[in-house]
Amino acid sequence: MLPSQGSETGSTPVSRSKMRFFSRILAFALNAYLDAQICEELVSYIKTKGKSYATKGTTAQQRAKKLVSSAKDKKTDYLIGLAYTEYYINGLADILYSKILFKLLIAKDKGKLKKIYEESTSSFKSALTTRHQFQEFISNRSLYLKYWFAIVTNPWRWANKFAKERCKFEGKLDTDLLRKAAIEVQKQNLENNGRVARDLRNEVDNDDVKITELNRLARKYKNSDFLIGAAKTQEAAARWDKLFVKLIGG
């Protein structure tokens, strides 16, 4: 087990409780950016008519391939639903959670924690191929308050624009197929979030880039509470997955 000695980010350590809360914030952000890359993998698959993904052998590509394998007849509407859910329902929710929670963080060390956040997310994002990393939403402050109501009342509000602009699809989308795809994404996310939470609590290394980054930071700052907080984020994400499926009648 890692020693819990506080987290050295400068001349003074950040308290264990603050570091645990901060790790939840960072984990939400990493979740979001990985979801954005999974979306990119699926978009590439759609645009190339199944010939290729955006990357090879990466965590995101493996997750995308598993999602595609759930499509019995590879209908474009269903594939678009998979990609759309990753970006607009899972990824966007996570990045908004991250931004909101950071605003709620009260700590004299907030400047140090912001530096860790920026360094970690910048490094993580630079290793991804997607240009779409929620820039169009992060600056929209009104969305922070109305997103959950908006996505529950009309989950597919951005779907047509996404299909046309990202996937080059001009047809009319079948919302029943979008719904089925969304349910499949959440089903697989539940399994993945549970596994990631267990691995973080047990300080297990694997080939998941998100776990690798969180383990790196926990070791760097000698704080095992960091991983506990990150595991709680995965468990919270799993609760969102379950709730969303119920809300759309899955």
Phi, psi values for residue 147, rounded to 5°: -55, -50
5 falls within a domain? no
- Give the mean pLDDT of the chain: 89
pLDDT tier, 13 (very low <50, low <70, confident <90, very high otherwise): low
pTM score of the predicted model = 0.91
- Tell me what pLDDT residue 5 has: 44
Q: Residue 185: what residue type?
A: V
d(CA 17, CA 4): 11
CA gap 176, 45 in Å, rounded: 21
pLDDT tens per residue, range 138-163: 888 788 778 988 888 999 999 999 99
120 belongs to a structural domain: yes
- For 156-197, write each residue's pLDDT tens digit: 999 999 999 999 999 999 999 999 999 999 999 999 999 999
Average pLDDT over residues 194-223: 88
Please check whether residue 115 lies inside any domain of the structure.
yes
Give how many domains the chain has, as a whole number: 1
As a whole number of angstroms, the distance between CA 152 and CA 248 comes to 8
Residue 3 lies in a domain: no
* Parent domain of 181: 13-247
Contact 26, 210 (CB under 8 A): no
Residue 216 within any structural domain of the chain = yes
HSE value, Cβ hemisphere, 13 Å, CA-based, for 78: 14
In a domain? residue 187: yes
Residue 108 belongs to some domain of the structure:
yes
In Å, how far are 105, 137, 150 from 145, measured between CA atoms? 17, 12, 10
How much is the average pLDDT of 218-241? 88
* 8 within domain boundaries: no
The pLDDT tens digits of the residues spanning 52-110 come to 999 999 999 999 999 999 988 789 999 999 999 999 999 999 999 999 999 888 878 88
